[in-house]
Amino acid sequence: MKLSNKERIKALLKSIETGDPGPVAVVNEDRYIQHNPQTHEGSEGLAALFQRLSKTSPRVNIVRAFEDGEFVFAHTEYDFSRRNIGFEVFRFKDGRAVEHWDNIQARSGPNPSGRSMVDGPIDAIDHELTETNRSRVQSFLEIVLIEGQLNKIADFIDEDTYIEHNPQRTDGISSLRQMLNASNKSLKRLEYRQLHRVLAEGNFVLGASEGSVDGTHSAFYDLFRVADGMIVEHWDTIEAIAPRSEWKNNNGKF
């Protein structure tokens, strides 16, 4: 039985743990473009790299995985020397993965509402609403997060049902509003400046954005679950982007 691209990427990521070289065949290493600024391109084959990493007893948990046309995006948990939460995005061309982006954050929490960075529903439903949900989340990202129209948060998020997995926030919209409020000096301020990509499968939508946290250049990956046209659940990772002088490839974070 032919595996979906989503299943092939899940096997690839799991092979970091097992060292199995077979799943690496999903990647076209001759055409592979790496967007993690801290990773060299072409210095070591993936099979050799994963075999070496497997000897350090890593743990890899693919919590969620979704497919959107030529893209696969996954929500992951890694335990190498420390526990990290990540989003991995792969682009396929001619049946193989040719490009990769990610966004990694150290795991912390639970948050004040008792939620971890990864718990909650994992399977996409409402596939017929994929484009509607994509458009809805894109509007939220552009209007509320980038343009800063905080008075419109309630147009997209239902205060009574909103579930928050960010380790610093609570359920509901009050803590999100506080972190986006320029006048609140007691909290780290998030500033979204540019939306680079919106990926979706059914009721799950991932946005990749660029901005800053207290002035530090950062990448925001936000995963939303949508129900009845409203955002009802949110997971994210926030990662500082290293200065260009420290990049190990020239492909850019986005």
Q: Which residues pair with 201 in a beta bridge?
A: 204
Tokens of 161: 């049902």
Same domain, 133 and 230: yes
Work out how many domains the chain is built from and give that number.
2
Kindly indicate the confidence band of residue 19, based on its pLDDT and cuts at 50, 70 and 90.
confident
- Residue where one domain finishes, among candidates 41, 75, 110: 110
Residue 196 domain boundaries: 127-240
Q: Which amino acid is at 1?
A: M
Mean of all residue pLDDT scores within the chain: 92
pTM: 0.94
| 153: DSSP letter | H
Residues of the chain with pLDDT > 90, as a percent, come to: 74
Give the integer Cα–Cα distance in Å for 229 and 90.
Answer: 27
Tokens of 101: 């982006």
Distance of CA 142 to the CA centre of its chain: 17
- Residue where one domain finishes, among candidates 62, 79, 110: 110
**250: in domain:** no
Same domain, 212 and 157: yes
**115: in domain:** no
**32: in domain:** yes
Q: β-pairing, 216-227 with 204-213?
A: antiparallel
Kindly indicate the confidence band of residue 158, based on its pLDDT and cuts at 50, 70 and 90.
confident
Residue 187 pLDDT > 80, yes or no? no
Residues of the chain with pLDDT > 70, as a percent, come to: 96
**60: in domain:** yes
* Nearest CA among 199, 239, 236 for reference residue 219: 239
What CATH number is attached to the domain comprising 81?
Answer: 3.10.450.50
